[in-house]
Amino acid sequence: MYFSTTLIAYIIDYFFAEFEKIKFLKHPIIYMGGYIKWFEKRFYLDNIYRGFILTLSLICIVFSITYIFTFVDNILFQGFLCSFAISSKMLYESVKNVINSTDSKYAISMLVSRDTKEMNESEINKAAIETYAENLSDGVIAPLFYMICFGLVGAFVYKAINTLDSMVGYRNEKYENFGKVSAKLDDIANYIPARITALLIALLFLSKKAFLNFNRYGKKHESLNAGLPISAMALALDLKLGGPTSYFGIIKDKPYFGDGKKEITKEDVKKALSIKRSLDIFIVVLLSLFTIFSY
């Protein structure tokens, strides 16, 4: 287990947020995304096998590069590299910017794939809470989970899988076959983290309602995992998230998650974001205790 490395990585992310202000330091996800675009441009075919080759090749590349870095036996260096796999502070700041921005439609369009031009304020706020809840799993808990279990290699292999899913894992005419392996692998990789995230949301908001019912609402989502943290957040804040949503000009009749109010305000977004403080304390204390008692 890599408790101390994960602790250092989380603390670095807390203060420096993926070093986003250092212009010459490109995030590894940019390189992963560049490879996916290059492969798709050169080798795309509408079949599962070609998508499998994309998935396998990227995972092998990421595994090989990160494995080489593990030979540097320095815990601070390992923690520094691992911090790039965590998006806690960047996620928080991005969602906070939605409610603080003078152009909230543009701000939310940078975070979601749904249509945003015709959104009203409540829909913008709803989208902000949904993306925050879902990405607490994808961007925070899942990388931490694989980092603890497998160190640098585990964290970045997970990020490769998640990046593949975000770019080609769509159920549409172009990617239904090409992205199928990526999407299924992402479902498997996120199965445990999504449930941990939902439980943490219920725990940190001290919501018995969320704890008992997140699975009942979450399983209505077409994704095996995404609905669980969204439902936990909705139940903890007494909201009703989800519902009909426009994607690429087509209304998708999504189910509702939660049984609270449908009109979502900026105050509700602030309440959702307030979990970060308690989550930071929980993670740092837990990792510190495991680090101490693992020696």
Chain segment 80-132, per-residue pLDDT in tens: 999 999 999 999 999 999 999 989 999 999 999 888 888 999 999 999 999 99
User: Is the Cβ–Cβ distance between 168 and 54 less than 8 Å?
Assistant: yes
Contact 174, 48 (CB under 8 A): no
List alpha helices for 174-251, DSSP H.
180-204, 208-218, 227-236
pLDDT tens digits, residue range 45-59? 999 999 999 999 999
Residues forming a β-bridge with 251 = 246
What pLDDT shows up at residue 21? 46
How many Cα atoms sit within 13 Å of 185 on the Cβ side?
24
Domain ranges of the chain: 3-294
Contact 270, 292 (CB under 8 A): no
Bridge partners of residue 256, in order along the sequence:
242
In three-state form (DSSP H/G/I as H, E/B as E, the rest C), the secondary structure along 53-92 is HHHHHHHHHHHHHHHHHCCCCCHHHHHHHHHHHCCHHHHH
Predicted local distance difference test score (pLDDT) of residue 87: 93
Q: Is the CB of residue 56 less than 8 Å from the CB of residue 184?
A: no
Confidence of residue 177 (pLDDT cuts 50, 70, 90): very high
Closest-CA residue to 86 (of 153, 123, 30, 136): 136
- The pLDDT, as a whole number, for residue 59 is 98
Residue in this structure with the two tokens 């209505």, named with its chain if needed: 220
- 223-277 pLDDT, tens digit per residue, is 999 999 999 999 999 999 999 888 877 888 889 999 999 999 999 999 999 999 9
User: Are the beta carbons of 69 and 80 closer than 8 angstroms?
Assistant: no
**64/67 Cα distance (integer angstroms):** 5
Tell me if residue 70 falls in helix, strand or coil. Answer: coil
Quick one: pLDDT band at residue 18, thresholds 50, 70, 90?
low
